[in-house]
């Protein structure tokens, strides 16, 4: 519970002062806990951001569901990201997100095919994951330009052919 309370406080601080300017002091004052409580749970503000980012990203993947098409899953994911826009705007900028997204797709392919993807699938998948992150960050900062459904449709149309064939 404390970790989630600290994450909520961090979101408020990120909204008012931005990720870079946000301090642990601001977070604990907003949350109403001591610095000691903060440091019992996290090493620094980036540790908190990464922890919460993991939780949100895993939740967004859960929104995608196993029984859905890629388009339906991505639409749900973008709807979820839209709800948590402030946090994702501050946090969706590291190698950490790439590793989680690549792992998600790799596991999904493994479940669908019964084996891990080979290099002819992994290379375009890695390229796609990096590009989808960049486009998602762009969308987060200009969400009125495209709806979650439009973003999902664009990302589905950008799936590399070898990956698309696995999901059909």
DSSP assignment of 19-63, as one string?
TTT--HHHHHHHHT--HHHHHHH-SSHHHHHHHHHHHHHHHHHHH
Which of the listed ranges 29-33, 99-103, 118-122, 159-163 does the model predict with the highest average pLDDT? 29-33
Question: How high is the pLDDT of residue 125?
Answer: 93
Res 153: pLDDT: 93
Tell me how far the alpha carbon of residue 5 is from its chain's centroid: 19
Average pLDDT on 98-109 reads 83
Report pTM.
0.67
pLDDT of 77 > 90? The answer is no
State the average pLDDT for the chain: 84
Residue 38 has pLDDT above 90, yes or no: yes
Per residue in 133-148, pLDDT (tens digit) is 888 888 888 767 888 8
**pLDDT given for residue 96 in this prediction:** 64
Banded pLDDT at 64 (limits 50, 70, 90): low
Cα–Cα distance measured from residue 43 to residue 48, given in angstroms and rounded to the nearest whole number: 8
pLDDT at 105: 86
């Amino acid at each position: 519970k404390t970790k989630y309370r600290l994450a909520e406080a961090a979101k408020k601080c990120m909204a008012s002062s931005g990720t870079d300017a946000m301090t642990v002091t601001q977070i604990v004052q907003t949350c109403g806990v001591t610095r000691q409580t903060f440091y019992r749970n996290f090493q620094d503000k980036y540790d908190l951001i990464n922890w919460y980012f993991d939780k949100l990203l895993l939740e967004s993947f859960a929104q995608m569901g196993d029984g859905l098409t890629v388009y339906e899953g991505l639409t749900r994911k973008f709807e979820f990201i839209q709800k948590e826009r402030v946090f994702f705007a501050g946090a969706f900028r590291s190698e950490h997100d790439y590793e989680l997204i690549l792992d998600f797709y790799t596991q999904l392919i493994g479940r669908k095919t019964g084996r891990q993807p080979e290099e002819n699938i992994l290379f375009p998948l890695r390229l796609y994951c990096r590009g989808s992150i960049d486009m998602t960050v762009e969308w987060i900062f200009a969400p009125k330009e495209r709806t979650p459904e439009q973003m999902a449709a664009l990302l589905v149309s950008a799936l590399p052919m070898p990956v698309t064939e696995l999901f059909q």
